[in-house]
Amino acid sequence: MTYYALVLIVATVVSFGLSVALWQIGTRFDVRREVRSRDVHKEPVPRLGGLALFGSLLVATLVASQVSWFEGIFSDSHAVWALVGAAAVVVAIGFIDDLFELDWVTKLAGQVLAAGIVAWQGVQIVSIPIGGLTLFSPTLSLILTVLAIVLVMNAVNFIDGLDGLVAGVTLIASGVFFMYSFLLATGEADTPYFNYASLFTAILLGAVLGFFPLNWHPAKLFLGDSGSLLVGLIMATTAISVTGQIDPAMVSASQLLPAFIPVLLPLAVLVVPLLDFLLAVLRRLRAGMSPFEADRQHLHHRLLDMGHTHLQAVLILYAWTSVLAIGTLMFLFVEWYVALGIIALGLVGSTVVTLSPEHRDVDDPLAIPAQPERTEA
């Protein structure tokens, strides 16, 4: 744990320093895009947070490569540097989009390229830890991996609409996932893949933690597409490195339930972005739009339209993520019925809060009136 703490601290310090510097540069040189009709914020804000996260990822990975305790991960470093290379691709595509707004086809092509780099270098869905199911076709494995990574990247990108939302959800989800991957890495199923997941989850936690103070409401710096795509890339890759690589034979009979956790936990920690992505795709296809066309009907927009304040909407989505992610992890520590009870109580409480917005005066500066769906990109 000490060495994971080391890379987390390095990532945090570098991310915070770069975030402050990029905020000052973005403000001084006006590296900002005009506010769009679907945006919640009122003034232009620099969208350079992804550069801070990438710089943090690069430095922390280089530091980890010099620590002998991580030599098992770097002994075959293709998967490590493939993730860094893929991160460079999505950050570059996202950064250009943040400045000039690329068409969705170009952005999707960049995402597929990045996902392909990761999958090509060995991080693939080759098995599903239920019933010992193994994918025998390398082509099928590659395609499923690329689709999964692209899905998660877009899902995370879709919820990036409120100050601190993606950063907070990432801290909660990745914190829970780190605990799980760390337990696997130190238990019966110790393999380099689980250490790989723990390392990059720790780096992601540190990178987002350093960025978070500048992204809290009112935000001084946004992740931008470069940052949200990077977060999604790392979350998807680390999840696949556990879920897609675990050998069910390594899990003893007494650990039958944990064998299901690799499938359930990634879904639980990503439930908010994945649900928002699914609803957005269905909504846009039904309206005859491209699934990648932007609108103002995301979950966070709907919470604002219900009457929740900016802070309330963010905390509600934090709550949903926490209940499902932590509740799923609890299956490892308590009886299954206790874990289910915890999840049920948490869901009931979250539902009550979600459906009970406080009354706000129309003069409330945080009040966002309902607007018709927009179709501009």
Residue 153 domain-assigned? yes
Residue with tokens 């308590």: 334
Count the domains in the chain.
1
DSSP 372: P
Determine contact, residues 211/16, Cβ cutoff 8 Å.
yes
Say which DSSP state 131 is in.
T
Three-state SS for 51-117 is HHHHHHHHHHHHHHHCCHHHHHHHCCCHHHHHHHHHHHHHHHHHHHHHHHCCCHHHHHHHHHHHHHH
Q: How far apart are CA 168 and CA 173, in angstroms?
A: 9
Positive or negative torsion for Cα 283, 319, 301, 269? negative
Does residue 287 fall inside a structural domain? no
- Look up residue 231 and give its amino acid: V
Q: Is residue 98, in this structure, part of any structural domain at all? A: yes
Q: Is pLDDT of 254 > 80?
A: no
In this structure, is residue 33 part of a structural domain?
yes
Residue in the structure block whose two tokens are 């609803």: 279
Q: Are 40 and 231 in contact (CB under 8 A)?
A: no
pLDDT (mean) for 217-223: 94
Would you say residue 128 lies in a domain? yes
User: Both tokens of residue 114?
Assistant: 């990045």
The distance of Cα 375 from the centroid of its chain, to the nearest Å, equals 25
pTM greater than 0.85 (yes/no): yes
Q: How far from 243 is each of 231, 258, 360, CA to CA, in Å?
A: 18, 12, 45
pLDDT at residue 21, rounded to an integer: 98
Least confident range of 21-25, 69-73, 94-98: 69-73
* 363 annotated binding-site participant: no
Residues 316-370: pLDDT tens digits? Answer: 999 999 999 999 889 888 888 999 999 999 999 999 999 987 644 433 444 444 4
- Model pLDDT for residues 125-151, shown as the tens digit of each residue: 877 655 556 666 788 889 999 999 999
286 in any annotated domain: no
Mean pLDDT of all residues in 225-253 = 78
For residue range 30-52, list pLDDT tens digits in order: 887 777 666 666 788 999 999 99
Segments in 125-252 forming alpha helices (H):
138-158, 165-185, 192-215, 224-243
Residue reference for tokens 């900016």: 310
Structural domain harbouring 195: 2-256
Q: Hey, what are 238's tokens?
A: 């680390």
373 pLDDT above the threshold of 90: no
Instruction: Give me the pLDDT at residue 135, please.
Output: 61
* Position 282 in a domain: no
**CB burial string 58-82: b at 16+ within 10 A, e below:** bbbbebbeeeeebeebbeeeebbeb
Query: Residue 80 domain-assigned?
Result: yes
Q: Is 157 annotated as a binding residue?
A: yes
Summarised one tens digit per residue, pLDDT across range 203-219 is 999 999 999 999 999 99
